[in-house]
Every structure is written in structure tokens, then in C-alpha cells.
Structure 1
């Protein structure tokens, strides 16, 4: 059975993939993963977080799915595991430009005061409505969100050998952060095939297009859809 390790967007939690555990069974074991985050005054690079993810992975018949920041961390974890002789079966990258582009993005949101930082993330669509409306929830989300933006905004992409596994890349059709031309550049990062798809929704298609994503994941991993679905 293939194990699909799922990584979250900035500020997200593995609970966001809880429904996938049932929805993608049988034939696929979904394991939501929390990437390591900097905290307590310590610094951490995105590559170090990815190495922490790689240490959590069982390397027999596995694949990665990552959304936004999670896609870049999954890519870097796949690099580590490939260099160690245990490449993933496939990398699914959702809502993310290629790593060199993500590395070159503007890098100042993490430096804003708390209120301004949260307001800007909310404007970009990176906070659930319930969090925006509740001061206590905003306070709970803030440390993880700021830690993740620190990982993203200090990411220093390093050139290296391409992956040896195929890549499936997704974007929501109305995603303002990733255009189709940029999504197609994922082919630059593998020696194998790349499949590019647009799905309904914006930057968070996991909320609105999970059925499309699940069908694509099964297809690309050659796992039949159960007859009752």
C-alpha cells in the first residue's frame, strides 16, 4: 500500500487532512505530517525543517502531497530522501510556484507587528474566517503562522540535481499567487514526467476541490477508484 505524507500550508495543522484518511482509502494510507517549526528564539532554515520531515517518513512505497509552503518543504524532503537512495513514488505540489521563485519572493511580512501581520495574512486569504473573527483564536494561530512565514521568507533555494520521481502540480484557477505558466515550470525539477492541472477555487483548493484532487492523486498513483464512489 502506498503511503501519502501530507504537508500543510503556512499556519496550517495536520488536522486539515483528517478527512483525507477516510476519503482516500482503500489502497492509499494518508499520513498528515507537521513540519518542524522554529520557536523559542531558535532559528531554523526551511531545509532543516524538511530534513525533520524526511526523518518521519517510512521510505517503502510512499509519496508526498504538499500545499503552498508544504509543497516546498515536501520538495526539499524529497531531495533529502532521493539523495539517500529512497526517492518518493511521486511528489504532488499544490498552490506553489517552483522553489526558486518561492525563494525569491518579497520577505518582510514576518517583521510586521502582530496586528498588522495578521491583518495582512487575512487579506491574502491565509486565515480561516473563524480565526479572523476571534481574538483568542488569532492569538493561538500567531506563533505557528509567524514561524512558518519565517521559514518561507528566509528560504534560500540551492541548486542541485533534479528529483527522479514524477511531479503532479496543481493550482486553483483563481489563485493570485501561482499562475499557470509558473506552475508548468515544475518540470524543471525532475528527470521524470510532470503533470499540471488547474482545479476549481483559489489559493486553498483543499477546501473546495478535494474531490478533484483525490481523483487526480489516485490516477497518478495508478490506484483504482472504489466502485461504490
Structure 2
């Protein structure tokens, strides 16, 4: 991932140049940087929000999708280099939580400890489930059925064939990335970790979320919201409140 174009990876919808910290938002499979536009607007000017755009979608749709979580994490870390002049918190939803974790590992290995990692809608990296029928190998209809089940995509979008042709390759590529991920044991993070889940999410149980505590020597906390995999759509205001409070708390702890 040499020569990463920072402008391609990082979108800054509500710049907050005087904010003391930055929040780096990493989307779910098939997601894009614009998913976090409401977060950026809600958290500015207290927090400078950087929304990550993976290759293969929207303004990067002509680029090939990444081949692995590790490739995405390396690209994110390289793109973040100019933005590390103040503490960063990594916030990832679903696939984005995996990218956030691996990016945090790379940052800590390079001597930059994130202010925190917020893992949303995803079980701990070391917790696996048997794969009976990988989603990325299904036909287009099977892929759309999976998306509808998780309730993260507007039905009007799924009914538009032209738009579907544009987004399905990215969704399939992202599911391939997720389903090929294999956790490599290593030293735990040292930064705080916050796990966020919906109480009816089929993708992660309460126990699987609690296992994130095994991946850091720092403080671990967990918050459960009403809702499924995309609980954060219906609980947006409360999610933003919890994230803001986490950032304030961790920053205060570093300052002491």
C-alpha cells in the first residue's frame, strides 16, 4: 500500500481544527465514509472526525477493493500519518472494528498509542464462528438477502438495479475480506477498548463482545443498545453521547 493518497482515504466532513482529539471512523462491509457524516456534524467542534473511505466505492469505485483486513489497516495507518499531531480514537463498526483493531496494533508497534479503540457490532478478534456458506460466494440475490437481513441498507437502494450494480462488487469484496480474516496472536493493546453492541444483533453475542477485554491491558468497557446489527442508526444520538464521553474520560486519564 505504498504511496497512499491521504486525500482518497480520509474525508473530513465537519473540520474541527482546534479540537484536542480526533475520531477516526471506519465503515462496515459495503459501507463508505459518508455513513459517518452525521457523526462528524454532531461531534464538531469538540472532536475532529476523520471518516475513512476504503477503495472500491463512491469516489474510489474505480480502484480495486482491498484483499484483506491487514491491507486496509496498513492503508489507514499510512493515511493517518499527517493527522497524528493530536490523540486519535479509532471507531469501527462491524468490519471496521476489525480494521480499527489491526490499525491500532500497527500504531502501537510504531510507538503511537491511540487514545482508544471503539469496536461496534463485532465480536472480539480471537472469537470465531464456523463458516458454513461464505456470504461472498453467494450469487447477487443471496448477497442482497444477507444485506436485507442486517437492515443496514435502504430498501430503495436495493430496489435500484443500476445502483446495485455499482455497490455489489464492493460489498462482495468486503465480505471476502471479513471471511478471510484470521486473528494472529500477539501482545494485547495498551489503550482503552470500548465495545458497543445491539442487544438483538445476530453477528455478536454479549459474551463475544466481552471478550474484547482480552485484547487490551488498558481499561475495557461495554455498552449494549436496543437493536440489531445496525442499532447505531436508530440510537444515533445516544451512541454519539457514549462515544463523546469515552473520549473525554480517556483523555482525562491520559492528562493525569
1:3 to 6, 12, 22: 22
1:150-229 → structure 2 map (5 Å cutoff): 150-222=176-248
Distance in structure 2 (CA, Å) of the matches to 1:143 and 1:170: 28
Distance in structure 1 (CA, Å) of the matches to 2:214 and 2:131: 19
**Alignment length (residue pairs):** 223
1:98-177 → structure 2 map (5 Å cutoff): 98-102=124-128, 105-106=131-132, 108-177=134-203
Task: Describe the shift of the 1:43–1:76 C-alpha distance in structure 2 as closer, same or farther (beyond 3 A).
Answer: closer
Deviations 1:106-140 (A, max 9, x none): 56211122233222332343432122222222212
Distance in structure 1 (CA, Å) of the matches to 2:242 and 2:182: 31
Distance in structure 2 (CA, Å) of the matches to 1:80 and 1:106: 31
Task: Describe the shift of the 1:117–1:7 C-alpha distance in structure 2 as closer, same or farther (beyond 3 A).
Answer: same
Q: TM-score, normalised by structure 2?
A: 0.80
Structure 2: where are the runs of 5+ without partners? 1-19, 250-256
SS of equivalent residue, structure 1 residue 142? helix
The residue aligned with 1:51 is: 74
Structure 1: where are the runs of 5+ without partners? 224-229
Judge conservation of contact 1:107–1:154 (CA < 8 Å) in 2: no
SS of equivalent residue, structure 1 residue 174? coil
Asked if 1:70 corresponds to 2:101, the answer is no
CA RMSD of aligned residues (A): 2.1
Distance in structure 2 (CA, Å) of the matches to 1:196 and 1:43: 30
SS of equivalent residue, structure 1 residue 158? coil
Judge conservation of contact 1:35–1:50 (CA < 8 Å) in 2: no
SS of equivalent residue, structure 1 residue 157? coil
